[in-house]
Amino acid sequence: MFGTVFQTISTQTLDLYPEENRAKIDEVNDFVYKAIANGAYKAGFSSKQEVYETAYASFFDGLDKLDDMLSSSKFLVGESVTEADIRLFPPLFRFDPVYHSRFKLNKKLLWEYKNIWRWMGDMMALPGMEPVSNEEYLQHCKQGYFGRTGNGTVPVGPPGYPEAYKHKHWSH
């Protein structure tokens, strides 16, 4: 959509949906939605243990696959940012500080995925990311997810986010 419909009103030449990569981008978008973006919600809002456990396993299988995908390229579909990277960024940005505890997706943190962690740093370094990936925005996300718990409390931690995403992890 960004690279097609909105192209006529854009003043930028960035093509996030290049024609030669559209099939691959569509495939990755489908995977990201099912395994990661919606996958987190399936676990987090499940009301049955079996459903939660199935979603939990599927979500972390998806992160394993993502980490493998990112082992051979800087971004999801090659060496340039595409729509697939833009779609993946929000759920991963929220993962450690929100989904890990709120959605009970607590098997691993993102730094434990070497290639995903590197990708997060690459995404955070892109021009224009600061307004949509700063501490204030993260606090807004936490308020939205944790504010629905009934008592209105929002966790203070984990400390260091989102700044941590900008740095190589000491273990890599």
Contact 165, 132 (CB under 8 A): no
Terminal Cα-to-Cα distance of the chain (whole angstroms): 36
Predicted confidence at residue 96, as pLDDT, reads: 81
pLDDT score of 156 more than 60: no
Contact 81, 16 (CB under 8 A): yes
Predicted confidence at residue 111, as pLDDT, reads: 92
Q: Which among 60, 165, 166 is positioned nearest to 103, based on CA atoms? A: 60
Predicted confidence at residue 144, as pLDDT, reads: 60
Helix %, strand %, coil % for the chain, to 5?
A: 65, 0, 35
> Residue 23 corresponds to which amino acid?
A
Give this prediction's pTM. Answer: 0.81
Summarize the confidence of residues 21-40 as an average pLDDT.
97
